[in-house]
Amino acid sequence: MARKFLYVVLVLIVLAIASAFAYRYFGAQILRQTMVPSAAFQAQPAMPRTTYADADMWIARPDKPNNPALWVPEGFAAAESPPAAVFFVHPTSYLERAQWNAPLDNAEANNRAAIFLRGQASAFNEVGAIWAPRYRQATFGAFLTSEDSAKQALGLAYRDVLAAFDQFLVEVGPDRPIILAGHSQGALHLTHLLKDRVAGQPLAQRIVAAYVVGWPVSKSADLPAMGLPECAAADQTGCILSWQSFAEPADPSLILDTFDATSGFTGVSRAGTAMVCTNPLTGTPDTAATADVNLGALFPSSDLTSATLEPGRVPARCEGRGLLMIGSGPEMGPYVLPGNNYHVFDYSLFWANVRADAARRMAAFAGMTPDGAGT
């Protein structure tokens, strides 16, 4: 019996090693096979802006009880009357392949989105009142294929974000400074929002900064049409920050293969173009910083509902076309994507620095306006 048990253990070990090997070397293929929906896209009617006058359509807003964006680690506090308003678009939290877009009442996706707000949007609660809408987000598998259904799903999700943003502008009034922020799918929608609502508009004068994190932005094919420049200085305002975090050795093919097959907002190909890479440790582009500059990274609990802040753990440097390299990478559990992609942790690895960055840019913005409260 003991020998038979040892054989079972051996088989399990071999299977575990084989699974890890397959995930490491064939992770992209495995993800596509298991996450891309097989059903056809189902068109849905657009939601009018006034839909977002309903507080239930927001995961976070200043008057919402149990607002997840107000979470802070020990030693920090959310401001009671912050000067800015933050429009935050959460990343993909719908992982099912039954359909291309998440139902608004999907409890699992909504709970996961709230977790993301605690670890990401919370970085801005010292300087801004945070608004984060629910939206019919595209499922995770939409980012693993070039099928027309994926494009249609993302288009539906973006129309919701646009409706939410238009209502957000009504809610916060005509003068308040605005911070735009998002991650992953949320950052993708922000790129379109910048092009459609900010570029060439008076609203651009109210933007403190736009944190387009976890989504590639081509310097030549996208940025000229997005209405704001890349942030060149740590205290610059009215500019765009973006980064994508990888440990070494990095394999960004899961992202770049799809990105390079598309055209940018200017109409030219994104293939091979340099991407915006802001080092969140310095607030400047294309720079390097050692771990001692990191004011604090969030290390989550196993269920992702809480985290501890640890300074001096993670370095960062921009490299190549614009990837943010973090050295060998800290142990963060099972959520690191194929290719040593620390995508899930783009904010939390640099949480305290992002918080300081937003405060610095808000102070600079206030100093440029007569009343210190916006234009």
Q: For each of the chain's 375 residues, which pLDDT tens digit applies? A: 444 333 333 333 333 333 333 444 445 555 655 667 777 888 899 888 899 999 999 999 999 999 999 999 999 999 999 999 999 999 999 888 889 999 999 999 999 999 999 999 999 999 999 999 999 999 988 887 767 888 999 999 999 999 999 999 999 999 999 999 999 999 999 999 999 999 999 999 999 999 999 999 999 999 999 999 999 999 999 999 999 999 999 999 888 988 999 999 999 999 999 999 999 999 999 899 999 999 999 998 777 667 899 999 999 999 999 999 999 999 988 889 889 999 999 999 999 999 999 999 999 999 975 444 433
The structural domain count of the chain equals: 1
Give me the phi and psi of 31, to 5 degrees please: -60, -45
Do the domain assignments include residue 154?
Answer: yes
Give the integer Cα–Cα distance in Å for 331 and 341. Answer: 12
Q: 261 is written with which tokens?
A: 């097959």
The residues, ordered by sequence, that sit 6+ positions from 217 with a Cβ below 8 Å of its Cβ are: 191, 223, 226, 240, 242, 275, 276
Domain, as residue range, for 280: 29-368
Do the domain assignments include residue 19?
Answer: no
Do the domain assignments include residue 9?
Answer: no
Do the domain assignments include residue 64?
Answer: yes
Do the domain assignments include residue 375?
Answer: no
CA distances to 7, 95, 178, 194, 226 from 204, rounded to whole Å, are: 66, 34, 9, 9, 10
Do the domain assignments include residue 65?
Answer: yes
Do the domain assignments include residue 39?
Answer: yes
Do the domain assignments include residue 210?
Answer: yes
Range 161-164, long-range pairs (CB < 8 A, 24+ positions) = 161/89, 161/133, 161/135, 161/186, 161/189, 161/193, 162/192, 162/193, 162/196, 162/197, 163/46, 163/47, 163/48, 163/49, 163/51, 163/52, 164/52, 164/57, 164/58, 164/87, 164/131, 164/133, 164/135
- pTM (2 decimals)? 0.89
